[in-house]
Amino acid sequence: MIPGITVVIPTVAPRSNMLREALRSVADQTLVPDVIIVQKDTERVGAAANRQAGTDRVDTELVGFLDDDDTLHPQHLEHLRDLLVAENADLVFPWFEVQGGTDPFPECFGRNWQDYVNAHGPYQIPVTFLARTEAIRAAGGWAPHSDFAHASGEDWLLTLHLVEQGAKIVHLAERTWIWRHHGQNSSGLAARVQW
């Protein structure tokens, strides 16, 4: 691993306009990443495999993730990196502003990570986080894991594996990105799009 930050943005063809906005928000960071990987899902492999393919290309110590239909506030990477270093954390996750909807779990904003863990395991954390690349790889990455029969997606499974690995997870109680609710999420997208 080399020093630096890579931002991975998985994308699908119908979102080229949104992707441009996502890329602009990454370029406008107060801490500009060393590498930006745009991973195009041309084979209809889905979110988990596409995000994993992007992650497999990362060779920097730190990696951040952004969906192609969301955007970052300018201080996102700088504030996450600063807290990750200060806390010697493996993963730092911030909170979001919602555009076109409401926060589905407002009770979680500002709670430290230990408060997220209950008798049923940790709560879901948003995918737009910054982490040590080796921690993501040690936890098995984004690929679906057959050892969990959980209804949620690859991000939930990655969280569970990070917890199993003893990763240090820290919450930045700050809204550093915009989560767009626009009715064009990729669920069922493949059936509606000409690839």
- What are 59-91's pLDDT values in tens digits? 999 999 999 999 999 999 999 999 999 999 999
Residue 137: its pLDDT value, please? 96
Query: Which residue's structure tokens are 């790889």?
Result: 137
- Report the CATH number of the 2-181 domain: 3.90.550.10
Q: What is the mean pLDDT of the chain?
A: 85
Query: 41: closest CA among 15, 4, 6?
Result: 15
Distance CA 123, CA 179 (A): 18
Please give the DSSP secondary-structure letter assigned to residue 123.
Answer: P
Burial-class residue 104 by CB neighbours within 10 Å (0-12, 13-18, 19+): exposed
Phi then psi dihedrals of residue 82, to 5 deg: -60, -45
Distance CA 188, CA 116 (A): 30
Beta bridge partner(s), residue 177: 72, 96
Distance CA 24, CA 166 (A): 35
pLDDT tens readout for residues 84-121: 999 999 999 999 999 998 888 888 888 877 656 665 55
Please give the DSSP secondary-structure letter assigned to residue 15.
Answer: G
Amino acid identity of 152?
S
Angle at 4 between CA 163 and CA 157, to 5 degrees: 20
- The mean per-residue pLDDT over the stretch 152-176 comes to 88
Query: Domain-by-domain residue ranges, the chain?
Result: 2-181
pTM: 0.87
